[in-house]
Amino acid sequence: MSIKNQGTTVKSRAHSIIWLIVSIVGLWAGFFILNITGEVKELGSGEKALRIVFAIVWFLFWIGAMVYNVLNLGAASRAKKAAGPVSPGKEG
């Protein structure tokens, strides 16, 4: 479900919350992967460089996803407040 906000479409609060949780899990998965690969003693210099590049790209992606979803969550909340209360339809 999308909400119109001053000509732009923002995702619903539920969508933002779900993807915020997914991004937190993705961030922790990166810590887990780096912890596992850090325990390997036979890493050459190429593997260590690849591990650093992986960490930079992985964490920038998931931190960016978290920031996006927090901003989207705020926009969805502001759009909902701006729309006002929804009045029930008249029966008759």
Do the domain assignments include residue 61?
Answer: yes
Do the domain assignments include residue 50?
Answer: yes
Do the domain assignments include residue 15?
Answer: yes
Report if pTM > 0.85: no
Do the domain assignments include residue 29?
Answer: yes
User: Distance between CA atoms of 80 and 78, rounded to whole angstroms?
Assistant: 5
pLDDT tens-digit readout, 28-64:
999 998 888 877 777 788 888 888 899 999 999 999 9
User: Distance between CA atoms of 2 and 10, rounded to whole angstroms?
Assistant: 6
Question: For residue 72, what are the domain limits?
Answer: 10-82
* DSSP three-state, residue 10: strand
Please state the domain count of the chain. Answer: 1
